[in-house]
Structures are given as C-alpha cells and as structure tokens.
Structure 1
Amino acid sequence: MTTTVEISPAARRSAELEAEITADASRFRILTGDRPTGPLHLGHYFGTLHNRVRLQRRGVRLGLVIADYQVLTDRDVADDLDSHVLGLIADYLAAGIDPDEAMIFTHSSVAALNQLLLPFLSLVTVPELQRNPTVKDEIAHSRQAGVSGLMFTYPAHQAADILFCKANLVPVGSDQLPHLELTRTIARRFNDHYGRVFPEPEALLSSAPLLLGTDGVKMSKSRGNAIMLGATASETARLIRGAKTDAQRHITYEPQARPEVASLVLLGALCSGQDPVELAEGVGSGGAAALKSVVTEAVNSHFAPLRAARAELAADPGYLRGVLARGNARAQERAEATLAEVREAMGTVYGVSR
C-alpha cells in the first residue's frame, strides 16, 4: 500500500519560491530579525541564522531588524539593551552575514519606519491584534501584572518592519504563517484604500530542525537550557553532559519515541554533516555518555571558527557600532522614501504646491 503525503499550499509555494531564487535571486528582498534579549544559541543558528547566510550568499537582498522597541515591555532585558544589541551584531557577522550587503538596523533608530505604525494600526481591528499568535504567546508568558499596550502593536510593527523596505519574502516557520498573514492583510488594505504602494510579502517556509534544550524542552534563552553560539568549548561540554536523555542504553534516532536522545543525535549530525540515523548507529550500545562525547566533539569542532570570529568582533565594540550606524542610515533613507510614498497616497502632503 502506497502512502500519499499531502503537501500544503504554503509548502508548495515555498518550493516554487526556492526555484525562483535559484533562477534570479536579485528579485527578492527579505526582512527578518531578532529581539535583543540576549545572545543567540544553537537553536537560532540552525533554525534561522544559517538560512539567512545561505540566502544572502545566493544573492537575495537581506534586511535584519534588531527589534529593540519590542523588548521595552521587559525591563529586565531593556536595562541591558546596549550589550544585547552589540551581541546580536557579533553573532550575525561571526555566522557569515556580510555587513556591507545586509542592512542591519534597530527599531529605535529609524523614525520614518515607526511613523508607519499609526496608519497601519488604523487598518486592523483590536480582535485581529488579540488573535495574533505572537501577541497571545507574549501575554501568556508575561511576568507582569498588567499587559502593556505596546504588546498589541507588535503585529502592526512587524508589518512596518517588513513593508517599509518593500520586502517581498519573509522566512518563517509554519507556526508563524498567521503572523505574516496580518502583514499581507495590512498591505492589501492599504493598497485597496489608497492605491498600490506595498507588495504582499510571501512566506519562505523554513525546514528548520527543532533542537531541544538541555532540559528536554524547546531551546530558549529564557529557560536557561540553551547552548549559546559564543559558549566556550568547556561550557559546551558541561552543558551537553548535563543534557536530559532516557533510560535506554542503545542509541537510536527516533524523534517521536525518544525526543531528548534524538535532539542530541540531530545536533551532532548537523555539526558533523552526517545523517542522524548513521550517527546513532555509530554510537549504538555506547549509551548516553558516548553519545554526549560524540556530540560535544562535533559541536566544538563545527563552531570553533565562528566562536573565534565572534570573540574578535566582541572585542571591538567600535566596529560593531559602526556596522549598526551604517545600517541605520541605510534603513532611515529607505524608510523616508517609503513614508513619502505613503503620505502622497494618503493625501497628507500639506503646504506643498502640487
């Protein structure tokens, strides 16, 4: 009996987009980014960062927003924003992002971008904002007694991030499709109301592997279960030694039945270029200790060049600030041009002879 695997429309379109990128990458502009809540970890690297480098090297124009305004709701993070922002830039460059090609910028430095927020908010309803998965997740995990109004603007702010530079492609996981759909909705409604200004960006679905943290749940900075990109070899060894496994001695790659073991196997395979099934078979009856030894060696070997580059970058904060200053200037120029288009379309250009 033959089993038919149904491909979703989003996955089918994503495959078509990959083919179009191969044919002519210069047609595409991507906007993606991170919240500066601390250094990136191995889950970020294999989940998003590695893919950004891949796309940039293929010729796609890349914008990276460091969403500093989106952490103002968390004072613990906001109090150390400067070091977090510089740390992100060091992570990006050490991983292979070309700062001469990529536009790296912060929310707070691009005034014209943020001016798009008000007209965009006028195009969405409160229930649409409340239903957004990211907003719901932020509220659910908020440690505050009350929810800041800023949280409800996140989806519209993300739309401004994407649309100010006319990005037509956004790399996302399948769980982020509803978030991107609101950006598409805002673009469509603006174009319907005022005339076509914005593209409706499409999703480039990521097949990013899910790496679990050392405690067996999703790797996360906030959980303290992550291995950071800039971790030392000894820190990496200590964290992997303490990673959760299971009671079975023989090592197999079974993501559903043995998720913690499978995550370690997958990490080792990603870092060594092996198939995870073959890596597990190679460890076999060696047990968890042997597996952790193999994974530690693979991780430390794979990330040694990146870590050396990151340490050198982190030691030169003046260079990192220069990269950001240049990216902010490029983003502001682009945002001012888009804002001028928006004002013209909306009829809010006053005191000028037409």
Structure 2
Amino acid sequence: MNDVVLTGDRPTGPLHLGHYFGSLANRVTLQDKFPMYVLIADYQVITDRDLPGAIQRNITELLLDYLAVGIDPAKVTIFQHSAIPELNQLLLPFLSLVSVSELHRNPTVKDEIAHSSQRAVSGLMFTYPVHQAADILFCKGTLVPVGKDQLPHVEVTRLVARRFNERYGEVFPEPEAMMGERPLLQGLDGGKMSKSRGNAIALSATEDETAALIRKARTDSDRVITFDETHRPQVANLLTLAGLCLGRSPQDIADEIGDGGASALKKLATEAVNEFLRPIRRRRAEHTEEEVRQVLAEGNAAARERAIMTLEEVRAAMGF
C-alpha cells in the first residue's frame, strides 16, 4: 500500500509562526512526495468550547494562510469535516472498538480538558481521539505529522485500525506518527504558543503588529545575550524565532548581539520575522475569497468520494 498523509488544523483563529515552523513548512515539502489530505476540522472546534465562533470567517482565513505558505490544492486535497457526513458514520463503529477507561486515560484529552473554556466538559471531548481516528482512516492514512502532545491520538487510531481488522477483516492500515524535527517555539509571553492566548505572531499580521508583539515579549535583565534554554528560556525563544526566520543558529545570533541587550535582540528579531513574512503576506493578498471557496468545494467533493468508498468497505466487512 502506498503511503498517504493526513494532516490538518482546527479553524479557531489565524495560523501563526508556530504553525508554520511546526507543520506548514513540512506539508509544503511532503506534498511533493505523497498523496496528502489536509483537514479543516470544524466539528472539532466544539470539543472544548460552547460555540464555534466566527467559523466561516476562520475557515476562509485558514485557507488563505494555506495558499500563502505554498500548500498547493493541485497536489493536496483540502476538505472540511462538516462537509463529509461519512466521517461521522465511521465514528460510531470505531467507538465500539474503544473502552470508556481507555478514553479516560488519554493524556492529550486530559490536557485539553484542563485548558477548556467550557463550564462543563462535553461527551464530545472524550470521543475526540476516535473522531480523529475517523479523519485519518477514511482516506487510509498511513503517515500523520504530529507534535509530541498528539502522539496519544495516533495511538488510539492505530488501536482502532488493529481492532477493526482483527474483528471484521483487513480493511485499514495502522498509521505511523511523523515527528517534527524543528525546535518548539514558545509564546512571546513564555507560555505555550496559542491563537487563543494572544502570544503568537499570526502569518497574516502586519509589520507594525509584528513589531508591537515582539516589543512586548518577555526577556530578562541580563544585558549580555546568551542562548541558554534552561536558565534563560524567554531570551532563548526569541533567539530561536530569529534563527528560524534567518536560517541561522540561535547561538550565532546571540554571539552577534553580545552585550547589546534585549532591545538589540528584539530589533533583530522584528526585522528577521518581517523579512520572512513579507513574501507570505504578498502571496496571501493575491488570492481572493472566491478562489478559496472553489478550492474548498473541489476538495470536499474529492474527500467525500473517498469517504463513501471507505464507508462501503466498512459496512460490507461488518455485514451491514
């Protein structure tokens, strides 16, 4: 069986540099090597919040970001979960293969619950990993690019595939996680980089917005700039950000700044980020919302055709 990549994002707000270096750049590379499905996981937005927010606006912005960074709809299938009802039909038999205790033990679900904005956690949160299993297995996905925090979800998908095959016959591959090699970017406030925490530089941010965010970034009082992730994590994070944008090592940048202090570091980081984002901003402005709608319509049609085929296989294997 040929490898197939499944990856995607929840449309909860603008994509940022953490997304770019963590996953988007890798997708641009992988699209020339493997068939790829890119999921806009709109139903998953309500796993940890009461309302989906400006969902259609967020989907449009997400697609504009995809096109701006070089994800090519001629090479990949970009689709919206809610447009593929067969994904939810796959969820039901998959849920029968996983115990309640296994869902409770999932560490990623526990972390999502801890950071949830909901007053009470919904049942959808506990089915989240199985929801993702349907997203991966509908296209017979074999490679799933993830960060370390998403590894438990891939393990649930492997478990579902294995148990389905054991019970009903060989239908699904057991997908493998693809771990990124890029260093993890923290937020500009020293916490986890997140769209909802306002500590990230969006790919769509203007030069002035970028400069303002970096000016507010936390550093420390030591004037000599050194790259020390253990004892100076906030300074190290800005050096890492500048290094990724410049294609240089953060240690070299620290040596160059020397005793220039935090102001010199922030000035260099601002220039590096704005120079890096300039062509992405330009390409983003070249695409229209009408083009985005067409890309999504074509992707949804292709994904649904694949999902129908898989659901028919599943129903036949189960004897329905």
Same fold (TM over 0.5): yes
* CA-CA distance at 1:164 after TM superposition: 0.4
Query: In 2, are the aligned partners of 1:173 and 1:207 still within 8 Å (CA)?
Result: no
| 2:297 is the alignment partner of 1:325 | yes
1:95 counterpart letter in structure 2: V
Q: What corresponds to 1:32 in structure 2?
A: 7
1:193-212 superposed matches below 5 A: 193-212=167-186
2:17 counterpart letter in structure 1: L
TM-score using structure 2 length: 0.97
Alpha-carbon spacing, 1:189–1:75, altered in 2? closer, same or farther (3 Å): closer
Q: Pick which of 188-197 and 220-229 moved more.
A: 220-229
In structure 1, C-alpha distance between the alignment counterparts of 2:47 and 2:93, rounded to whole Å: 22
Q: What corresponds to 2:89 in structure 1?
A: 115
- Segments of 5+ residues of structure 1 without an aligned counterpart are 1-25, 349-354
In structure 1, C-alpha distance between the alignment counterparts of 2:50 and 2:253, rounded to whole Å: 41
In structure 1, C-alpha distance between the alignment counterparts of 2:48 and 2:289, rounded to whole Å: 24
| 2:61 is the alignment partner of 1:87 | yes
Q: What corresponds to 2:194 in structure 1?
A: 220
* Structure 1 SS opposite 2:31: helix
Query: In 2, are the aligned partners of 1:173 and 1:208 still within 8 Å (CA)?
Result: no
Structure 1 residue ranges (4+ consecutive) displaced by more than 4 angstroms after TM superposition: 73-77
2:270 counterpart letter in structure 1: T
Q: What corresponds to 1:240 in structure 2?
A: 214
Q: What corresponds to 1:158 in structure 2?
A: 132
Query: In 2, are the aligned partners of 1:37 and 1:77 still within 8 Å (CA)?
Result: no
2:307 counterpart letter in structure 1: A
Q: CA RMSD in A?
A: 1.4
Q: What corresponds to 2:30 in structure 1?
A: 55
- Segments of 5+ residues of structure 2 without an aligned counterpart are none
Match of 1:312 among 281, 286, 295: 286
Count, aligned residues: 320
Query: In 2, are the aligned partners of 1:213 and 1:220 still within 8 Å (CA)?
Result: yes
Q: What corresponds to 2:265 in structure 1?
A: 291
* CA-CA distance at 1:135 after TM superposition: 1.7
Q: Percent identity over the alignment?
A: 62
Query: In 1, are the aligned partners of 2:47 and 2:128 still within 8 Å (CA)?
Result: no
Query: In 1, are the aligned partners of 2:6 and 2:39 still within 8 Å (CA)?
Result: yes
Q: What corresponds to 1:13 in structure 2?
A: none
Q: Pick which of 170-179 and 85-94 moved more.
A: 170-179
* Structure 2 SS opposite 1:116: helix
Q: Deviations over 1:96-152 (max 9, x none)?
A: 101111111111000112210000000001111112223212221222222111111
* CA-CA distance at 1:270 after TM superposition: 0.7
* Structure 1 SS opposite 2:119: coil
In structure 1, C-alpha distance between the alignment counterparts of 2:305 and 2:209, rounded to whole Å: 42
TM-score using structure 1 length: 0.88
* CA-CA distance at 1:312 after TM superposition: 2.8
1:62-73 superposed matches below 5 A: 62-73=36-47
Query: In 1, are the aligned partners of 2:7 and 2:38 still within 8 Å (CA)?
Result: yes
In structure 1, C-alpha distance between the alignment counterparts of 2:163 and 2:136, rounded to whole Å: 15
* Structure 2 SS opposite 1:153: helix
Alpha-carbon spacing, 1:55–1:205, altered in 2? closer, same or farther (3 Å): same
* CA-CA distance at 1:171 after TM superposition: 1.0
